[in-house]
Structures are given as C-alpha cells and as structure tokens.
Chain A
C-alpha cells in the first residue's frame, strides 16, 4: 500500500465544515496560549500537544465516508501522535543548540512527518 493524492474527498467537504475546523483550531490555539500565560511554559507545553484536529476530522470522516474509514483515520492518527514526540524532542535539541527559530520549526515539522510516515509504512506499507 502506498500513499496517494486524491482530490475527490476535498470536493465533498462543505465550506461550513472547513469553518468549524478553523474556529476549533483557532480556539484551541488561543486556549493553549492562555494556559501558558497563566500557568507558565511548563503547563502550557502540555497543551500544545492537545488533540485539536482529530475530533472534527473523525466526525467529518464518519459523516462522509462511514464508520470503517473513521476507524482507519483514528488508527493513522496514533502515528501522528508519536511523530509529535519526534517534533518536540528535535525542537528541544535544536533550540538548546541555538539554531534559528524558523529552521527549528521547519526541521521539527519534517521530523514529525518523517517519523509518522515511517511508522505508517512499517505497519501498513506491506499490506
């Protein structure tokens, strides 16, 4: 099994469903910022790994594609979660090493992508 691009799924999603995700994502970002502001960066850091996309995504996938696809979506999300640990640890290492912020965030995002994708390939790539 190999990942592929498929544009048909995007056309099924209504504008208001995108709007819900936008508002949801924005609200959680604000919430994480407020938590950090009040309780400091240690507690704030917990919340930057808060599940922000998945609740809306699963609901939409269930609505458009059915239960089986929603299960598969959630199964894939586990690898993204492990990838977030790769994001955090690489960002920490690069930040402490004094690298420029833009490079830190870009490479940490790549680390997330590479780790998540590699895990997916190990589990599902041969099916």
Chain B
C-alpha cells in the first residue's frame, strides 16, 4: 500500500507538472487554460487501476468520472467569476472545491436514484 501511494504521488505530481508546463508554453491564455483541466489524475489512476484491478474496475471508474467531469465544468465556470474578484484567487479556487463536490456527488446520487448502471 505504501509503495502504491508513493508511486501515485510521484506519477501524479509528474503528470500534473507536465500538463501545467505545456499550459505555460502556449498562448493565448484561453488556449493555455485547456491544460488546467487536463485529465492528469485520471491518467495516473487508470494506469494503476488497469495494472492492479483490471478492466471491470476501470470501466466502473470511467463511468463515474463522467459525473466528476460535470462537477469540474461547474468548478471551472465558478473560477471565471472568482478570477474577476480582487481577493486572493487561491482562496476562492479552494472554496470552489465544495461546488465540485456538490455537483459531482449530486449527479452521482441522482444517477443512482434513477437506476443508472454505476
């Protein structure tokens, strides 16, 4: 377990940094922003999931990843509003995680309630 976590940390940090670096190498900023929502954690998690748990596990993760992406879209939309404020942007961006959670888990609960195969 400890080795798994170390591998996750190193891989995750590397891939996040790589995508962020690509975002710094391109312009305009609206295009660079795409890389702020790159599937870095997904690439790491699914790579390890394929290795450890197999296809059925990966299929289940990617199904609910769709719902998490809905939360991410809401998060990005609120970040546009937050970026317009004068206050420290990182406070708003961190507080907006609560919005991500509400949308992602709300969609998850709704999908379960209607009997979606999750």
Binding site for B on A (CB under 8 A): 1, 3-7, 9-10, 13, 18, 21-30, 32-34, 36-37, 40-59, 61-62, 65, 67, 69-85, 87-89, 91-92, 95-96, 98, 101, 104-105, 108-109, 112, 116-117, 120, 124
Contacts and interface: CB of A to CB of B under 8 A. Distances in A.
Given A30-B9, A74-B76, A92-B62, A46 B83 contact: no
Contacts of A62: 83, 89
Contacts of B77: 78
B100 A41 contact: no
Interface of B: 1, 4-5, 8-17, 19-21, 23-51, 53, 55, 57-73, 75-77, 79-80, 82-84, 86, 88-90, 93-94, 96-97, 100, 104-105, 108, 118
Which secondary structure dominates where chain A touches chain B?
A: helix
A58 B51 CA distance: 33
Given A23-B13, A26-B13, A27-B9, 20 more contacts: A10-B25, A25-B16, A30-B8, A32-B45, A40-B60, A41-B58, A42-B64, A46-B67, A50-B97, A53-B37, A59-B89, A69-B29, A72-B33, A78-B37, A78-B80, A79-B37, A81-B72, A91-B65, A92-B59, A98-B55
Contacts of B29: 61, 65, 69, 72-73, 76
A73 to B, nearest CB: 4
Contact of A58 (B5, B46, B83, B105): B83
B38 A21 contact: no
Closest 7 pairs (CB-CB, A-B): A76-B33, A29-B12, A25-B16, A80-B37, A49-B68, A26-B13, A45-B64
